[in-house]
Amino acid sequence: MVSKRLSRLEGHRRKFMAVIDGTPECQRAVHYAGRRAKNSNGGLVLLYVIPDGDFQQWLGVEEIMRAEAREEAEAVVAKIAQIVRETIGIEPEIVIREGGAAEQINAVIEEDRDVAILVLAAGSAKEGPGPLVSSVAGRAAAFPIPVTVLPDTLTNEEIDALC
């Protein structure tokens, strides 16, 4: 069970969360979430999850690998945040976590009770819509808040018209 959302209470605002995973379709999710946040006077949370299990080396090597993964995550999210600032005109919150994507998404939702909508974009590759969208569709990872899934074929102009 999810904690009560606070986004409608005084002093709070509804936040849209987009997961940054390096896929082309995540740009669609970010654009949609950012536009919805701006148009509803809400907030935007950009979540980047560093996959668990990539750091099972000797201690010194593990620390270096963790630091490199963190630097890469920060660079990727900083670039996307700059695009959001320039194209949408809002300041996103940045959250970087390490672990499984579904578990970290749920953890952020539980910790930040203003996060009210998770935005994902489905890929159109032959491999399928992507692991997060597949897990939502297959109910392997049911999230405790509404999930908006966008087709990655929408242009920014079409997304703007929807928002």
Range of 11-15, 63-67, 129-133 with top mean pLDDT: 11-15
- What pLDDT does residue 53 have? 65
- What pLDDT does residue 130 have? 57
pTM of the model as a whole: 0.85
pLDDT above 70 for 72: yes
Interior/surface letters 48-69, b for 16+ CB within 10 angstroms, e for the rest: bbbeeeebeeeeeeeeeeeeeb
How is residue 31 written in tokens? 């654009």
Confidence of residue 89 (pLDDT cuts 50, 70, 90): very high
Q: Are 38 and 66 in contact (CB under 8 A)?
A: no
Return the higher-pLDDT residue of 95 and 52: 95
Range of 9-23, 88-102, 110-124, 137-151 with top mean pLDDT: 88-102
Average pLDDT over all residues of the chain: 85
CA distance 89 to 112: 22
Q: Which amino acid is at 69?
A: A
Q: Which domains does the chain have, with CATH numbers?
A: 13-160 (3.40.50.620)
Q: Which amino acid is at 61?
A: V
- What pLDDT does residue 71 have? 94
pLDDT above 90 for 2: no
Quick one: what percent of the chain has pLDDT higher than 70? 83
Mean predicted confidence (pLDDT) in 125-149: 65
